[in-house]
Chains A and B, each alone.
Chain A
């Protein structure tokens, strides 16, 4: 693993990367107030190993102000997708860093306020000039103070002032989707000030992150890149024996496995707790285990120390099939690509088998020591997203409902009967400020049942909502198993009062195959009729992934003409009668 590689590995490998034809590409700019050689090399190599093509631009030493303020600078010519602004406490504070108590407390406060304003204005100049997302490092709080033990007694002392500056920074950009704050202070805490800051390297070359830890910083940055490129992993697939508990339940028995009680057993508890925390923010969990299902389910259901229970798993494959086939089944059941899956298994043979058969699945290297599992999980950067919505938090629960639905579907042999018994209820509403983030997220993520695959940022949806000529609608779908949340979006362009244009129509894969799309279309058509519109026009823009929506327009009665599809709103349109529609 390159994680343990030293900087020289990245420096030399970066020279030999050569050309690639990776689909995922990103342009990254690095601006810094100090020498940070080796960072861009580490970043490029790490991303290359993840099949991401990364082009970089590194500004000259301490040139970040000029680069941002000069509208014709090389930075803007490079046109980055993502920019890192790396500042350090010492060069930002200047003399005040060493002599914080040479001035009165009110003067100190004034200086800190000015620093904050300067930075705020600098960021504003940047965001006015480019569409690049910006990651700004916050400031590390030095452990030293000339006040010694008295430091914590001073309200506007050095440490508290830096803390406040960091808070101000975070608050300033809390709601800004283009600017993110990287918590550099906690990065320093994680590895320790005396490791991150090497006094000799600082004296020789103004290096303020020691060479040893440059690859770790690059690691943190990859988290943003995965998120920007939408390469976030969605589901953790877990083996059971020696992964979720110690020992083999089929041999050691229910009472013989190591789970809780003692350091070894507690390693697995610790691992399970972190898995649960990811589940709670929307990462799905699944099981892929060669086991007697009764033995394994007995532990999952009844063992007093188990943290993860049946309701936490979106999918469970506990059988004697080979693990690769199980993995393919899991992806199919969850309606996911294999590249959404992460696989944890203690057995190196299973891991090799998975890696060589399904290279798209991220198979995590695990050491023999289970106490390391939780640490490895915590260090993974692949679960990062730039936005977490309320829907995400509920996702784990929703998939369990989905599992119940599928079991129900199997038990009812007639599809019509199944749909009727599902007691579907569709609430159709116009977008408001609470639904904007989710609507944008659906346009960014939905690939299969998506008519035009137009991607819209939150800013775009906000503009649509304010535009009287555009209607942005969404549907929330409920059934007898629970609430699926906001799972469908349509965007209508009404600029021409006689002819509406269907700009976007999509359905989350979670609710496909329930004829919900037809009742939404019926809603659109009857609304058009009411508004005196005669026809609705639409286009189907085919992609590699949106075949499921291919027949949707003709199925609804749209006719093909030279520039797309068209329907006369007076045509009879039958909405499925087993769905209750609530128009709000």
Chain B
């Protein structure tokens, strides 16, 4: 679990935290359309004070990918 990350996803996608897991993706979450994925990445960048590269944005397919890139940017997700 990573509370901060999940609460942002929950807020942007307008779904309960309990419905989010590593496999969550545009395929499994109805509100996760292409526009909302920009909104999500934008709000993650602001919240975690980081910036995803254009390759990372393209490669992000699900929550596990987001975690992977945040960790790569040195962000701890063990809250």
Contact residues of A with B, CB < 8 Å? 6-9, 11-12, 15, 37-38, 198, 200-201, 203-205, 207, 210-212
Contact = CB atoms under 8 A, between A and B. Distances in A.
B38 interface: yes
B43 A6 contact: yes
Given A8-B12, A9-B11, A12-B14, A204 B38 contact: yes
Interface in B1-33: 11-12, 14
30 contacts: A6-B43, A7-B39, A7-B42, A7-B43, A8-B12, A8-B14, A8-B39, A8-B40, A8-B43, A9-B11, A11-B36, A11-B39, A12-B11, A12-B14, A37-B35, A38-B39, A198-B42, A200-B52, A200-B54, A201-B42, A203-B54, A204-B38, A204-B57, A205-B35, A205-B38, A210-B42, A211-B38, A211-B39, A212-B42, A212-B46
Interface size class of B (residues with CB under 8 A): 10 to 19
A38 B36 CA distance: 10
Nearest to A7: B39
B26 to A, nearest CB: 14
Contacts of A203: 54
Contacts of B12: 8
Nearest to A16: B14
Contacts of A6: 43, 46
Nearest to B57: A200
- Name the residue among B14, B34, B42 with the largest chain A CB count within 10 angstroms: B42
Nearest to B35: A37
B49 to A, nearest CB: 13
Contacts of A204: 38, 57
A462 to B, nearest CB: 46
Contacts of B42: 7, 198, 201, 210-212
Contacts of B57: 200, 204
Contacts of B52: 200
A16 to B, nearest CB: 9
Contacts of B14: 8, 12, 15
Nearest to A11: B39
B12 to A, nearest CB: 4
Contacts of B34: 205
A211 B35 CA distance: 10
A210 B42 CA distance: 9
Nearest to A6: B43
Interface string B48-60: 0000101001000
Contact of B38 (A9, A12, A15, A201): A201
A15 to B, nearest CB: 8
A381 B42 CA distance: 27
A207 B38 contact: yes
Given A12-B14, A200-B52, 5 more contacts: A198-B42, A200-B54, A201-B42, A211-B38, A211-B42
A211 B34 CA distance: 13
Contacts of B54: 200, 203
Nearest to A201: B38
B22 to A, nearest CB: 21
Contacts of B40: 8
Contacts of A212: 42, 46
A218 to B, nearest CB: 15
A314 B14 CA distance: 49
Contact of B11 (A8, A200, A211): A8
A207 to B, nearest CB: 7
Nearest to B37: A204
- Name the residue among A12, A200, A205, A212 with the largest chain B CB count within 10 angstroms: A200
A210 B43 CA distance: 11
A18 to B, nearest CB: 15
Nearest to B51: A200
A212 B52 CA distance: 15
A436 B10 CA distance: 56
A204 B54 CA distance: 9
A35 to B, nearest CB: 9
Contacts of A38: 39
Contacts of A9: 11
A522 to B, nearest CB: 67
Contacts of B38: 201, 204-205, 207, 211
A204 B38 CA distance: 9
A469 B35 CA distance: 59
A171 to B, nearest CB: 38
A200 B60 CA distance: 14
A7 B35 CA distance: 12
A201 B57 CA distance: 10
Nearest to B43: A6
Contacts of B39: 7-8, 11, 38, 211
Nearest to A35: B35
B63 to A, nearest CB: 16
Contacts of B43: 6-8
A583 B52 CA distance: 75
A212 B41 CA distance: 11
Contacts of A8: 11-12, 14, 39-40, 43
Nearest to A8: B12
A20 to B, nearest CB: 21
A363 B57 CA distance: 43
A439 to B, nearest CB: 48
A9 B46 CA distance: 15
A137 B38 CA distance: 25
Contacts of A205: 34-35, 38
Closest 5 CB pairs of A and B: A8-B12, A12-B14, A211-B42, A37-B35, A6-B43
Nearest to B12: A8
Contacts of A37: 35
Contacts of A211: 38-39, 42
B74 to A, nearest CB: 20
Nearest to B34: A205
A192 to B, nearest CB: 15
A93 to B, nearest CB: 25
